[in-house]
Structure formats: C-alpha cells, structure tokens
Structure 1
Amino acid sequence: MSSITKTKTSSRQREIIEIVLGNGWDYMRGILTGGKSGEPKLPTPEVLRRMLIELGPFYVKFGQLLSTRPDLLPPKYIEALTALQANVPPVSWGEIEQSLEEEYNQPLENIFSTLNREPLAAGSMAQVHRGTLVTGEDVAIKVQRPNIERVVNQDINIIKGIADLVALSDFGNDYDVVSLAEEFTNAVLAELDFRKEATFTDKLRENLSKSKWFDPQKLIVPKIFWDYTTKKVLVMEWLDGKPILKAEIPTFEEQPENNIRSDLSTILFRAFFQQIYIDGFFHADPHPGNIFYLDDGRIALIDCGMIGRLDPRTQQLLTEMLLAVVDIDAQKCAQLTLELSENISLKTNIARLENDYNIMLRKYYNLSLSQINFSEVFYEILEVSRKNKVKLPGNMGLYAKSLANLEGVARQFNPQINLLDEIKPLTIDLLRRQLFGETPLQTVFRTVLDLKSVGLRSPRQLDVILDRLSSETLQFNLQIRELDNLRRSLDDSANRLSFSIVVGSLIVGAAIISTGATTAQLVLLSNILFAVASFLGLWLVISILRSGRLR
C-alpha cells in the first residue's frame, strides 16, 4: 500500500472513530483503537441507522444489504435499515456530463437527442436522469457517482480489517464474520458494475415474459439498451407511471376499483411465486418504490440490481417447511432447518432447536390458514435458527425479506387480500412440478440413474463400513431398551453359526481323508471326525429345538 493510500485510510479511520464516538458506540471504539474484542454489542437500531448515514454512501449501501439478511439481525434492525437512504446531495450536471462523455468517448449528441439535467433520483451509488435516444426511444439513464469506486475500495479495506479483529471473538467464529465481510463487500463491488444489473434485468424480463399463472402482458420489466450500457452507465426503457402505493387507480362502472386492486395483487403474488418457486431467480427488493403502476394499467418491476437465487432442492425444502408450519410440526421444522443449513455449529442443541420451534408454533394452533402471516413466520424461523447457532445460506434472508416486502406492499395496496387464496390455485401445479419436473420422462430417467448409482455404490459403502468395524475406527454410542436381551439373542445366533461352520468343516475334512485313505490310521481318523461332527450336529439340532425358535 502506498504512503498516499495509507494516509487516506488513516484519515478515514479517524473520521469513522469520530462518528462512532459521537454516537456513543463504545464497543466499536474499542475495536478501532486496538482494544480487546469481546462479545459484540450492537447499537440500537436508530443509532445504527444514523451512524451508517453519517459514515457515507458505502456504509449506507452496506446497511441496505444488511437489511436483506434477517438471518443475521433481529426484526427491529431489519425494519430500521430497510428504509435507509443516503443523505447525499445530487452530483452536478457538469460532473455527470463529463462521466458520460468519458464512458462513451464521443459527443453525447451522437447518442441522445435530449437529456434532462435535473436528476429524477439520487442514491448512494448513482443518480438517474431522463433522456431520449437519437432513435426516438425515451430512456432512463442511471449514472454512477464520480469517484465512488475509490471511496468504496478505501472503506472495504477498513471493513475487512474490522472483520479480522471481530473474528477473534466467539461471535466472530460462530458467524464467520470474515466470510460475511467478504460476501457483503463483493456484493457492493458487484453493484458498481451496471452490466451485471442489466444482465439480471434481462433475465427477469425473459422469465416473466411467459407464464401459466398470470397474463404476462400485464406485467413488464424495462428493456435494456445494451448499445449504450457500460460498467458505469445503465440505459433502460422509460416507463410512464408512479410507485404503486402513490398511484391513482382508475374506477370503471363495470369494474370497481377494489376489483382492479384485487386483480393487480393477484398478478404480483403469482409473478413472485413463479420467480421464487419455479424460476429460482427472483427480484429480492420489491419495496413500494420498485413496483410501479403504469399509465396503461400494467405493473412494472424496476431496479433489479439485487437478485436472489434458489436451487431446486432449496425450493423443495422451503415448500416442505411451509407445510410443516401449517401442520404445527416442530420436529419437521427442526429437521428441515438442519437440512437447509450450510454448517451446524458444535454449540447447536437439536433438542433445544425443536423445543424453540414448538414454542414458536404454539401461537398458530388455533389460527386458520388465512390468518397466518407467512412472511412473519419465516422471519421467526430465521430467528430460531440464529438463536440456535444454525447458519442458513444468505439466500434464505433474501427469500424472507422479499416475501415480507411483497406481502407488506400487497396488504397496503389491497387490505382485503388473502395470501392463501392467492397461492391456493398454484399449489397443485407447484407440487406436480417438484415431484415430476417440467418433463416427467426426464425425471423418470434421472430417478432410474440415481437408483443405479445407489446400487453400484452400496456394496462399496458396505465394504467400507465392515472394514471400519474390523479396524475399530467406527464407534457406536447407542442406548436401546432391553439391549441385554438383544445381545444374548445375537450371542446365541453367533454361537450356533460358529458350531454349524465347525460341523461342516469336520464333515468336509473327514470326507477328504476317507477318500484318500490308504492306511488303517487314516481310516480311523476319518471315522473319528465323522463321529465328532455327528455329535456336534445332533447337539446343535437339540439346542435349537429346545429354544422353541425353529421357525
């Protein structure tokens, strides 16, 4: 690191310490000044939110990312961070114009026939302007704030340094804060490349352009103009409309407003249900500002920079978890939580995990399905997991946050909405897809191959188990009722088997000797072996008959 960079970082560290001290967070003061790092103590949600705003754009973005991880933070913190916005003034038009010219390396008149100098929105990483391409299309132009990449890289170094210190504590080990810091900083760096957001937007647009569950013509994702999109500039289709909670919904005599709202709510739920449970690729930030009601009556999803992904196995486990909650099955919930987890801490007490689920589910004993708030249920599942040191993958947090945002928007937009009524018609199709897939024949082939694989592996696995048993490297710690009776029964069986082997060996030996006997001594030895074998065989038969267990 150069001396200039070190000087800038030291200056930034002093600034951070001043902000932390100004907000009274003593734990962080100890960390930044080289003190001991014990169990972390978070500031209150309001103090944390205020500190992040004062620390600047990177930390605001960091807080926004944290708000998508209810698997890490309690609900009050998630709520405080959800509406977090950077208190930053918009960048002057001169700087924006210079950034555009540097990116395109040509006069802007060659690309845009008009450009609105006043920003429509200004955020921590970028601001948005409206314009018109020379080809006539109205567009929204998202331009990265100048020098933001340098500021972000500087703060990333500090964040990683703090994570290394916190990693020395038990908390740091339990939550692997170094990996978490790496995950969050990579997420911030990814948002600095607008080409990734453009790719996500295109993918979402393609997935939602076809559906059996809703009319794709009534929902839109803006088109990306790739010819004018770069790492620092994103150009997308302009959509005339307003955020869904601020829009005026028209009323028609043949279709009252409440019916229009109901239809739009159904489209929203089904679109997200498809994203989550079918496509496994979903818009992870459906807050009211990212869902628009357009002038032509359609719904639009915008700002697709934050995307969640779910693999088929996770989709199936989440469906089973939903059914386990409905059945008030604490044991199944605990089992599914462990199956979802990335790794299980040695501190995880399985019995306590199940008991915590039992306590959580009691409140739903006498509720009908229509009364259950499913997003709240999944928040509670994440809280139980966090309490029991079960680390769930980050996409679980995005899933719960997305579901909570969606349900919150839908209930504000249409208070009469019933989530169960919205998803009930889709459940049979969903279960069919999870059981048989899109192509049942392909699923059958895959099952046959899996069975073949199990058949081929089983003898080898049995051989490994027997080898470990013989070498005493495999240990069992079992507590079974009436184990003594079982042991005696096994001993009797083993003894009888041993006698049978001995008798058979004596008979075979005697037969071999008698066949080649040329002297009186060999004939005598053969007769003795036959006699001993006959005696032992008779004794074995009598013992079996006396035990009464011949059948």
Structure 2
Amino acid sequence: HVPAVHWGHTARKVLTSEWIEGEQLAKCDRQTINALISVGVDAFLAQLLDVGFFHSDPHPGNLLVDGSGRLVLIDFGLCAEVDQLDGRALSKAIVHLMQSDVEGLLDDCVALHFLPEDVDREALLVPMRNIFHKGGEALIDMQQTRHVESAGVAARRAQFGAISRDLNQVFFEFPFTVPPYFALITRALIVLEGIAVTGDPDFDLFRAAYPYAARHAAKVFGVGQLASFVGEASKQGHLDLLKAPRPNPREALRRSASGSAAHVL
C-alpha cells in the first residue's frame, strides 16, 4: 500500500500524505516477515522496472505493516528515476545472472553503462567465468553445510571473501563505472535483504527477484525472446556454472498467470 497524497497541503518541497498506523516490518515475527518480504521485493521491482520511478530510502522505519496485514511504504522524500531502456536492461540482466550467462551479463553491463562499448569482452570473460564458477561452488557448500556449527560459517565467509576480492580486482583492472542511480538501487536492495534474513537466514535476494524479472522480460521482449535468452545460455553450457538449482522462467510465468503476485502495490 502507498499512502494517499493530500494534494491541498502538498507543494514543491512539502509532501503531505495519509497517516499510517503500523508496526515496522523488521520488528514483526518471522512468519510475518517471510509472508511480506516477497511483496516488498515485487513492489520495489514494479517501481524499478515498470514505473521507472522508485522509493530510494526503504530503511526499516519506512516499511510498515498496518492493522490489516498490508505492507505499507512510507516517506517518499527520496526517490529516483530509471530510464525505460535501463529498466529493460535490468530485467534482462537479472535473467542472465540467474541463468549464469556471463556473455549476456556483460552485454547488459554495456547497455547499463557499467562498461564502455569497446571493452575487451574476451579478456573480461575469463576472470568473470572463474568468479561465477567459484560462486557456484560456494553456494553448493553453503547449502550442504548451512546447519553445521560456527566453524562452517567461518569457512563460508572466507570463501565469499575470496570471491569478493577477485571481483574487486576485476573492477580495478577493467573500466567499470557505476551509474549514480545504481547506488540508490543497491541501498534499497541491501535494506530489503537485511530485513528478509531476520525471518529466513537462507533468503536469496536474486532468487526472490527472478520471478518478477522473468515476467517483466516476457512482457517487454515476449515469451519467445525470454525462452531464447535461457535457451542460448543452456546451449552454451552456462547453466552449469552455478550448479545450485536455479528458478525456472516458465514457472515464473505460470505463477504470474495464476495471479500469485496480483497483490503488489
């Protein structure tokens, strides 16, 4: 739910909206967090990918649960715009990321202005494939040992720390830049993930975002084109890079058709 605006008391520098009584989502019980965090992820993606104008400050105090159990976003004092073409590229990037399609993801990075068009793709593909491979192995280890005592947790942190250092080295060696709006996107996603893991320590943000991104990609590019994204990744063997089970885009579309996300916003 988005609070109604009282336009008669709103000006260029003053936003007056409906008063909401509710409890912070982050302070709710695990069951409530687990039930509503997917709504929050879908709501954020709807703003980001469909509207192109998104709430950029979803800190815990701005995510409430009202008396009827609805998730409410308040305080729209900080918002940002995303170009329509960037929204299309973002949805495709999520699909490519979840399908472990490194070549497709590099194309998306160019489209999103993270990389220049003349970047040496062949030189960049080698370290990126290695990072994806290490990431896949780390995810498998995490799934197999997530119930092991703290020694296992420390080992997993060391694995992901090594991956992070490899990624930082790639960013240093190649001409990556971060568009200004993307820092706000990252901030919003970090907050959502931070709340989510209090309800489910195994929460996977990208897995949660994948169904909406797949539906958006199917709507924008067509189901056939979405299938070709996945088919090309499978044909080139990219689906083996991350061996942990990946979401199925056809299942995401089936869920969309059944109205499972119809309550968003």
TM-score range, shorter chain: 0.5 to 0.7
- List aligned pairs for 1:325-336, cutoff 5 A: 325-336=97-108
One of 225, 237, 241 as aligned partner of 2:22: 241
Partner of 1:287: 59
One of 78, 81, 89 as aligned partner of 1:309: 81
Distance 2:133 2:189 in 1: 22
Partner of 1:359: 130
Contact kept? 2:3, 2:18, Cα under 8 Å: yes
Distance 1:391 1:325 in 2: 19
Q: Deviation per CA, 1:258-291: give whole Å up to 9, x if none.
A: 2x43321222122122222222222122221211
Q: Deviation per CA, 1:28-75: give whole Å up to 9, x if none.
A: xxxxxxxxxxxxxxxxxxxxxxxxxxxxxxxxxxxxxxxxxxxxxxxx
Change (3 A) 1:294 1:343: same
TM-fit CA distance, 1:402 = 2.1
Q: Deviation per CA, 1:443-473: give whole Å up to 9, x if none.
A: xxxxxxxxxxxxxxxxxxxxxxxxxxxxxxx
TM-fit CA distance, 1:303 = 1.8
Change (3 A) 1:354 1:292: same
Partner of 2:7: 226
- List aligned pairs for 1:444-459, cutoff 5 A: none
Distance 1:321 1:263 in 2: 26
5+ residue gaps in structure 2?
144-160, 224-265
Contact kept? 1:281, 1:307, Cα under 8 Å: yes
Partner of 1:272: 44
> Amino acid of the residue matched to residue 33 of structure 2?
R
One of 324, 347, 355 as aligned partner of 2:96: 324
Contact kept? 1:308, 1:395, Cα under 8 Å: yes
Partner of 1:113: none
Change (3 A) 1:395 1:381: farther
- List aligned pairs for 1:466-545, cutoff 5 A: none
Change (3 A) 1:233 1:394: closer
Change (3 A) 1:270 1:325: closer
Instruction: Please state if 1:432 is matched with 2:213.
Output: no
- List aligned pairs for 1:1-80, cutoff 5 A: none
Change (3 A) 1:343 1:429: closer
Contact kept? 1:290, 1:301, Cα under 8 Å: yes
Distance 2:177 2:211 in 1: 33
TM-fit CA distance, 1:417 = 4.1
SS at match of 1:235: coil
- List aligned pairs for 1:375-414, cutoff 5 A: 384-385=170-171, 388-414=174-200
> Amino acid of the residue matched to residue 221 of structure 1?
V
- List aligned pairs for 1:110-129, cutoff 5 A: none
Q: Deviation per CA, 1:420-460: give whole Å up to 9, x if none.
A: 664455455323212249xxxxxxxxxxxxxxxxxxxxxxx
TM-fit CA distance, 1:414 = 4.0
TM-score by length of 1: 0.32
Change (3 A) 1:229 1:313: closer
Change (3 A) 1:415 1:407: same
Distance 1:326 1:418 in 2: 11
Contact kept? 2:41, 2:208, Cα under 8 Å: yes
Distance 2:169 2:93 in 1: 15
Partner of 2:256: none
Contact kept? 1:345, 1:390, Cα under 8 Å: no
Distance 1:317 1:234 in 2: 32
Change (3 A) 1:328 1:270: closer
Change (3 A) 1:234 1:382: farther
Q: Deviation per CA, 1:503-537: give whole Å up to 9, x if none.
A: xxxxxxxxxxxxxxxxxxxxxxxxxxxxxxxxxxx
Contact kept? 2:3, 2:74, Cα under 8 Å: yes
Distance 2:127 2:17 in 1: 47
Contact kept? 1:222, 1:302, Cα under 8 Å: yes
TM-score by length of 2: 0.60
5+ residue gaps in structure 1?
1-219, 250-256, 438-551
Distance 2:58 2:168 in 1: 20
Contact kept? 2:36, 2:71, Cα under 8 Å: yes
TM-fit CA distance, 1:301 = 0.8
Greater C-alpha Rg: 1
